[in-house]
Amino acid sequence: MSLTEQRPSAVSSALAKDRLGVPSVVFFVISAAAPLMVVAGSVPTAYQVTGVIGVPFAFLMLGAIFALFAVGYVTMARHVVNAGAFYAYAAQGLGRTQGVATAWVALLAYNALQLGLYGIIGSATEPLLLDWFGAAPPWWVIALVAWAVTGLLGLLRVDVNGKILSVLLVSEIAVVLVFDIGDLLHPAPGGVSFEGFNPGSLFVSGVGAALATVVAGFAGIESSVVFAEESRDRNRTVPLATYLGIAIIAILYSISAWAQTVPTGPDGIVKAVSEQQTELIFNQAAAHMGSAVSTIGSVLFVTSSMACMIAFHNTTARYIFALGRENVLPSVFGRTSARTAAPKAGSVLQTALGLIVIFVYAIFDLDPVTKLFFTFGAFGGLGLLTLLTVTSISVIVFFARNPSGETVWRTRIAPALAALALCTMIGMTLINFDTVLDVEPDAPIRWILPGIYVVAIILGVVWGSVLKATRPEVYANIGLGAQAVGGGAR
């Protein structure tokens, strides 16, 4: 055995040519996080809705928490199948019933994150259309166009091509940095203030709401381990790409969130965003560097939102597909489009939900940015926090049951610290959920939305128990994803 393995293998080297290196994985990971979308969309909205000026510090703090979380996460990824899905960790760490509950939470969270994006695309595109044609349709018309494109590309299985994605991503980051420099060169009369990095400016009333939005900016980072099977060296490529991705996102977002406050001063940012919403950073850029730079930024804002939408659409559709293959969802969701190799049923379901959401918001004339993009984003962020917490606990339990020679730091200490920090964040988010929703503190809706997750968890546990009792062969394969049909054997 060892003799044959030492010889260079024609098979392994042929397959290795197809594999991904660290830069490719980082590109995939950050592109789902869509830098310009977060900097131009999420950050100003977070300032506006929460009134918290400590957003820059929040990004750094969350980066640290995510890095802590990633320690256990990437370690367990080496030991489990279907590593890309949170519920696989729960299923293989805590138990299959808990895995089903986690899967439900994941479906809700990813769905919310994707659907919320339909709220931002309108305000991203409107200023451009006004500038070019002098008129723009209502937001929901633009959202419907984006919806149709996303649905179609999802069915055709057009993942935005790696090369296009890289070009877009590099230009986005370049534009964000140029905007930042412009902001920094034009400080408010009071001078450059570092108030945003002061932890004291984050931990004020509304902190939980700010955190939930900021979390959504990190969504996508967890997808790095999906590439474990496709990376050159799963022990090195994936951890490195994950930490690198987290560091890039945390630092870039933090600096950009801070830079936005420099021209207005920390005291003026909330008022400025309330007036200009997502146009703020483009107006700032136009004032500092001319309209050409600002227009390039606006165009990239649109492409960034689209790319993000497609990425989340496909992530969710694949999640649904994997659950269909396990028969946890009806097996029709495990069907493929033969011609395009797309997870067809999941994609169609996702598209149908998008249409419903756009219609409801258009009919009731609700504000797409604060009520759709922000609310759904924060709701998804809350779900993501829950998933991260459950995953951290799963890591600890998994390694307690399956000793593997990994260090105590990776299997116990880091995941425990991450779980603790994440639980605290969930608590703070729940306390401030009225601010997130912009409702009275005693409005029932603030408990109904987080309650949806509780209901999903209960239903998941019930469904898991039903499967255990009535279809043990399905129950045995929970958490294995596409490998469920093979019983997990390679």
Partner 1 sequence: MAEGDLSRPSLADDLFFVIHHNVTGRARLHPRLASLGLAGAVIGELMLAERVTLDLVPGQDRLYVITEDATGDPLTQNVLDHVVAEPHHPIVTWLHFFARTVYDDVVARMIAKNLLNPPARHLLKLQPAAPVDANTAAWPLARLNLAIERRKPPAIRDCVLYGLVVATGGAPRALREHDAAFATATTALLPVPLQRLIVQTEVVVGEAVISRR
Give contact residues for partner 1 (rule: CB under 8 A): 1, 4-5, 9-11, 14-15, 18, 28, 84, 157, 159, 162, 223, 226-227, 229-230, 314, 318, 321-322, 325, 331, 334-343, 481-483, 485-490
| Residue 341 vs 448, nearer CB to partner 1 | 341
Q: Please report how many Cα atoms fall inside a 13 Å half-sphere around the Cα of residue 73, on the Cβ side.
A: 32
Could you tell me the smallest distance in angstroms from the CB atom of residue 326 to partner 1?
10
In the complex, minimum distance from the CB of residue 90 to partner 1, in angstroms, rounded to a whole number: 18
Give the nearer residue to partner 1 in terms of CB position, either 65 or 480. 480
**Min CB(458)–partner 1 separation in Å:** 28
How far apart are CB 167 and partner 1 at their closest, in Å?
Answer: 17
Shorter beta-carbon distance to partner 1: residue 335 or 371: 335
Tokens of 66: 């995510």
Nearest to 217 by CA among 298, 308, 300, 147: 308
Instruction: Label residue 166 exposed, middle or buried (CB < 10 Å: 0-12, 13-18, 19+).
Output: middle
19: left (phi over 0), alpha (psi -120 to 50) or beta: beta
> Could you give the CA distance from residue 155 to residue 173 in angstroms, rounded to a whole number?
29
The answer to whether 154 and 310 have CB atoms below 8 angstroms apart is yes
Q: Considering beta carbons, is residue 318 or 410 the nearer one to partner 1?
A: 318
Q: How far is the CB of 67 from partner 1 (least distance, A)?
A: 23
d(CA 163, CA 184): 32
CB 372 within 8 A of CB 118: yes
Displacement of CA 142 from its chain's centroid (Å): 23
* Distance in Å, CB of 436 to partner 1, minimum: 31
The residue among 54 and 481 lying less far from partner 1, judged by its C-beta, is 481
Neighbours of 17 (CB within 10 A): 7
Output the smallest distance, CB 348 to partner 1, in A. 14
Structure tokens at 228: 């474990």
Helix (H, G, I), strand (E, B) or coil at 20: strand
* CA–CA gap between residue 293 and residue 282 (Å, rounded): 9
- The DSSP 8-state label assigned to residue 279 in this structure reads G
Residue among 214 and 221 whose Cβ is closer to partner 1: 221
Min dist CB 227 to partner 1, Å, is: 8
- The tokens describing 448, both together, are 């109904």
In degrees and rounded to multiples of 5, residue 231 shows phi and psi of -95, 160
Pick between residue 283 and residue 336 the one whose CB is nearest to partner 1: 336
The answer to whether the CB of 97 falls within 8 A of the CB of 468 is: yes
Q: Residue 201's CB: how many other CB atoms inside 10 A? A: 20
Tell me the closest approach of the beta carbon of residue 484 to partner 1, in angstroms.
Answer: 8
**Type of residue at 74:** V
Q: In angstroms, what is the minimal distance from the CB of 107 to partner 1?
A: 15
Comparing CB distances to partner 1, the nearer of 102 and 483 is 483
Nearest CA to 309 out of 439, 92, 159, 466 is that of 159
Give 161 or 470: the residue with its C-beta nearer to partner 1: 161
Q: Which is nearer to partner 1, 135 or 338 (CB)?
A: 338
Shortest separation between residue 254's beta carbon and partner 1, angstroms: 27
Nearest of 351, 343, 277, 13 to residue 123 by alpha carbon: 277
Least CB distance from residue 174 to partner 1, whole Å? Answer: 24
Q: Which is nearer to partner 1, 166 or 337 (CB)?
A: 337
Report which of 344, 320, 310 is spatially closest to residue 108, judged by C-alpha positions: 320
Kindly provide the b/e burial profile for residues 355-366, where b requires at least 16 CB atoms within 10 angstroms of the residue's own CB.
eebbeebbeeee
Biggest alpha carbon–alpha carbon distance for the chain: 73
What whole-number distance in Å separates Cα of residue 395 and Cα of residue 367? 40
Beta-carbon contacts of 372 under 8 Å, excluding residues fewer than 6 positions away, are: 115, 116, 118, 119, 357, 361, 366
Q: Which is nearer to partner 1, 89 or 321 (CB)?
A: 321
